[in-house]
């Protein structure tokens, strides 16, 4: 449906009009974003405008697209330009902060301390410009929860912000509180908040998957299976269900062959944006073969994993251990 909408937009409006009109650009780029067509967004903007004459909206979409492509250097570049072109845009500051955060997660050397503080500052600025920007509040909450104190992390403040989010967006607020309690190792409270979040919004598979991961870490395999079945009822075409079911078999140690079959089927499906890589699936298959006491088959999977992603640390360690 969204792809059809994008085609209609390009038929009605020339590419240069799409790139220069914020309203039309939003319709086209948002359609592509929701389909995971990040390169198409870059192509759309590049074909419709020159670098020096690019609008704030077009620059913002370049920032978002490069985040989707995991090119965080380019994303930071365009995010910085977007906030300079439109310094009063809450969402431009939000996405610039997200780009900086993604770049930071790759390792920043000596500049890490400055960049970390800038991430927090961009989220705070986004909230100052628009106090109703719940996405900025959620991202700030995550920063406060995960960052060390030296760069402004504060778990107590994160929990307060999560509580405030609950007044704006109940489901998101409960989800935020679940993450806070999980980090604080208050697992009973985290479990309650995860259940509340999924009860408020039963169609949000992100909430459900995070609850599934929580239960998997707690080795509550029976309840994890129930959550996975509920996700499948909501979105049966999500290939990540196959991957996570494979993990469930792997971690529980039950029906390991079924776990292998899940990963094999996952490798046959189209990979969705932000879903586990093919290399990750091969690594997990190697782990299953190890549990099945088939080291030769495990070696094969680890080697395939490293062919796909040569720097896959876990596969390197596992292969070295088997030699």
What are 13-22's pLDDT values in tens digits?
444 444 456 6
pLDDT of residue 9: 40
Mean pLDDT of 265-294: 92
pLDDT of residue 24: 74
* CATH class name, domain 203-208+218-272: mainly alpha
- The 8-class DSSP code of residue 149 comes to G
3-state DSSP assignment of residue 73: helix
pLDDT of residue 25: 76
What radius of gyration do the chain's Cα atoms show? 22
Q: Does residue 11 carry a pLDDT above 60?
A: no
Mean pLDDT of 263-267: 96
Residue-range domain boundaries for the chain: 203-208+218-272, 277-323
- Range with lowest mean pLDDT among 202-206, 261-265, 281-285: 202-206
DSSP string, 120-136: HHHHHHHHHH-TT-HHH
pLDDT of residue 240: 93
The count of residues in the chain is 323
Residue 111 — pLDDT band, cuts 50, 70, 90?
A: low
Mean pLDDT of 149-172: 94
Q: Tokens at residue 251, please?
A: 């971690």
**Each residue's pLDDT tens digit, 31-86:** 888 888 889 889 888 887 776 677 888 999 999 999 988 899 999 999 999 999 99
Q: Does residue 107 carry a pLDDT above 80?
A: no
Long-range own/partner contacts, residues 260-263 (CB < 8 A, 24 or more apart): 260/285, 260/288, 260/289, 263/288
Count the Cβ atoms, other than its own, within 10 Å of residue 95.
Answer: 26
pLDDT of residue 4: 45
CA distance 106 to 284: 23
Q: Tokens at residue 13, please?
A: 């409006």
Q: Tokens at residue 156, please?
A: 């107590």
| Mean pLDDT value across the chain | 88
């Amino acid at each position: 449906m969204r792809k059809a909408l994008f085609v209609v937009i390009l038929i009605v409006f020339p590419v240069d009009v799409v790139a220069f009109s914020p309203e039309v650009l939003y319709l086209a780029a948002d359609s592509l974003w929701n389909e995971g067509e990040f390169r198409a967004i870059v192509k759309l903007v590049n074909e419709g405008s020159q670098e020096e004459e690019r609008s704030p909206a077009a620059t913002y979409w370049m920032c978002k697209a490069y985040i989707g492509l995991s090119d965080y250097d380019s994303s930071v570049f365009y995010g910085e330009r977007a906030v300079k072109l439109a310094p009063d845009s809450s969402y431009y500051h939000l996405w610039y902060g997200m780009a900086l955060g993604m770049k930071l997660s790759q390792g920043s050397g000596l500049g890490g301390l400055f960049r970390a503080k800038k991430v927090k500052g961009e989220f705070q600025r986004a909230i100052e410009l628009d106090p109703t920007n719940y996405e900025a509040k959620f991202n700030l909450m995550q920063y406060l929860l995960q960052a060390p104190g030296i760069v402004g992390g504060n778990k107590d403040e994160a929990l307060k912000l999560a509580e405030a989010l609950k007044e704006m967006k109940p489901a998101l607020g409960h989800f935020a509180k679940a993450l806070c309690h999980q980090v604080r190792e208050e697992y009973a409270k985290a479990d309650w908040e995860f259940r509340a979040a999924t009860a408020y919004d039963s169609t949000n598979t992100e909430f459900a998957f995070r609850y599934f991961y929580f239960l998997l870490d707690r080795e509550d395999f029976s309840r994890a299976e129930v959550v996975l079945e509920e996700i499948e009822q909501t979105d049966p075409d999500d290939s990540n269900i196959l991957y996570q079911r494979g993990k469930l078999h792997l971690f529980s140690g039950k029906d390991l062959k079924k776990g292998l079959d899940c990963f094999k089927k996952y490798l046959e499906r189209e990979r969705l944006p932000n879903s586990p890589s093919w290399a990750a699936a091969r690594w997990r298959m190697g782990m299953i073969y190890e549990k099945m006491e088939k080291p030769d088959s495990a070696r094969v999977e680890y080697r395939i994993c490293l062919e796909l992603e040569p720097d896959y640390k876990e596969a390197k360690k596992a292969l070295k251990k088997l030699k």
